[in-house]
Structure 1
Amino acid sequence: MDACPFLEIDGPAPSDWVLLCDHARNWVPPDVAGGDLGLPPEDMARHIAYDPGAEGVTRVLAAELNAPAVMATFSRLVIDPNRAEDDPTLLMRLYDGSIIPGNRHADATERQRRIEAWHRPYHDAVTAMLAARPEAMLVSIHSFTRQLRGRAPRPWHIGVLYSDDTRLARPLLDVLNGEPDLCIGDNLPYSGHLPGDTMDRHGVQPGRPHVLIELRNDLISTPETQAAWGVRLAHLLRAAHQQMEETRL
């Protein structure tokens, strides 16, 4: 794999949408612990390393919406692109019961090096894509695990995460609540308010309509289910956008 912090999917400018996928892959670059954080393959395949299924959904959704996208290519365990640079969870040493050997001795110098090599270039790419599309709405695709170790199972199929700006989140929740087969998480399985994270940085602070969508990862474990959810989300987002436009009139 090329040592690039991000992958872009081309799309029109102007565009109604820009898509992001912060945790698309579980790749560890060769300049980080020699390309191996010391975890067994089963841990690197878990949600602690990336968001399983999210890249596939993002690709299908981008095609359905004719939208551009930016996806991070590195594991969240290298440095988490969905955290502020000063967030204490930016570089994890323990995650959901698994010790990360390759991060155990990462000091402040190594943390800063990873920020400059991987975290900042990803966000610079997002900033550049959004600058070319000032009217676009921002949608970030994530996935969550059905059950954390020692915790109760999570019942939600999909979560809609947001902070104070609900211009896109509220219409999307309205549309989703009309889907009888889905259990909807309203700012669940966790809150969308995290100062300095991706949506705060690129949505809240510049005042751009945005939403973060969390899909339970057992529902998008195959190319077929990823494609189905990508198509379904395109329909839901278009309906939410239409509701936004009608509200303005």
Structure 2
Amino acid sequence: MLSGDDDLPFAVFNPHGRGDVLLVCEHASAAIPGVFADLGLQRHALSSHIAWDPGALELSMQLAKMLDASLCYQRYSRLLYDCNRPPESPSAIPEKSEVYDIPGNRHLSARERDQRIETFYRPFEQGLSGLLEARGKLGRQTVLVTVHSFTPVFFGRAREVEVGILHDVDRRLADAMLGQVESLEGRFVTRRNEPYGPKDGVTHTLVEHGVKNGLLNVMIEVRNDLLRSQEEINAMAAYLGGLICIGPTQDWAWPRKTNQTGRRP
């Protein structure tokens, strides 16, 4: 489904980073290869938040520089395949996103869905798994942090929250980060599991690559109107970097009562 002129779906920034944090940006790009004919969408839809997370890649790269972290990201639009969804999820290849119908995703055959999965999801999944495996073989600790942005207005409703700290069953890192919010000057409106949470099906990467491996993990959501300039991105990266760098004194024992099968860190 990709031509010789197309980039590979999975990319790594700062691959030799020495920090403990491994950043992930699943919705980094709005790019759609020519063979898909823009999925039948108009330009304004293709540049909107339904196609990608505006500012998320730039924020992730700034965090990677600050934390000397490696960053893995997807080079194609989540409308082709949302790499933060498992293959069995209907929203992995959405037929509608917010108010937009997506003609190029309608009436796909099983074979066409499988092609999307193999072309976009599998390289991303295997690439991220390979990074984690390589770090494990070197005896390196890994803290998994996924970075996203969200629209200020959704279905006509304005969102007050500016930064969301999201988690699934493993809330260790989220708790530590949220515990620091009140003490930071110039803080943003920061809340737990907003504007999305596990019930919305957004924690696939956290569970698949973090929880199941017993890794500290958290998902960060930033309102995209706070990421429109480099100055804003730098300010947000400084804020989030401070929350992530919580120091070595925390008790990171894996909760004893859990239905997950991942090993304890």
TM-score by length of structure 1 reads: 0.91
Measure the CA separation in 2 of the matches of 1:21 and 1:195.
13
Aligned pair 1:29/2:29, yes or no? no
| Counterpart amino acid of residue 88 in structure 1 | P
Give the 3-state SS of the residue equivalent to 2:197 in structure 1.
Answer: coil
Measure the CA separation in 2 of the matches of 1:49 and 1:27.
8
Deviates more, 1:16-25 or 1:168-177: 168-177
Q: Is the 8 A contact 2:151 2:224 kept in 1?
A: yes
Deviations 1:63-114 (A, max 9, x none): 0000101000110100110001101111111111001121123222111101
TM-score by length of structure 2 reads: 0.85
Give the 3 Å change call, closer, same or farther, for CA 6–66 of structure 1 in structure 2: same
Give the 3 Å change call, closer, same or farther, for CA 196–248 of structure 1 in structure 2: closer
Q: Is the 8 A contact 1:85 1:115 kept in 2?
A: yes
Instruction: List runs of 5+ in structure 2 lacking aligned partners.
Output: 253-265
Structure 2 counterparts to residues 99-110 of structure 1, below 5 A: 99-110=101-112
Measure how far apart 1:219 and its partner are.
Answer: 0.5
The count of aligned residue pairs is 242
Partner of 1:247: 250
Structure 2 counterparts to residues 1-249 of structure 1, below 5 A: 2-12=6-16, 15-31=19-35, 33-34=36-37, 36-134=38-136, 135-150=141-156, 152-179=157-184, 181-192=187-198, 194=201, 197-238=204-245, 240=246, 242=247, 245-248=248-251
Q: Which has the higher contact order (CA 8 A, sep 6+)?
A: 1
Measure the CA separation in 2 of the matches of 1:47 and 1:195.
15
Instruction: List runs of 5+ in structure 1 lacking aligned partners.
Output: none
Deviations 1:30-78 (A, max 9, x none): 34x24x1121221111110000000000000000000101000110100
Alignment root-mean-square deviation, CA = 1.9
Give the 3 Å change call, closer, same or farther, for CA 215–196 of structure 1 in structure 2: closer
User: Percent identity at matched positions?
Assistant: 34
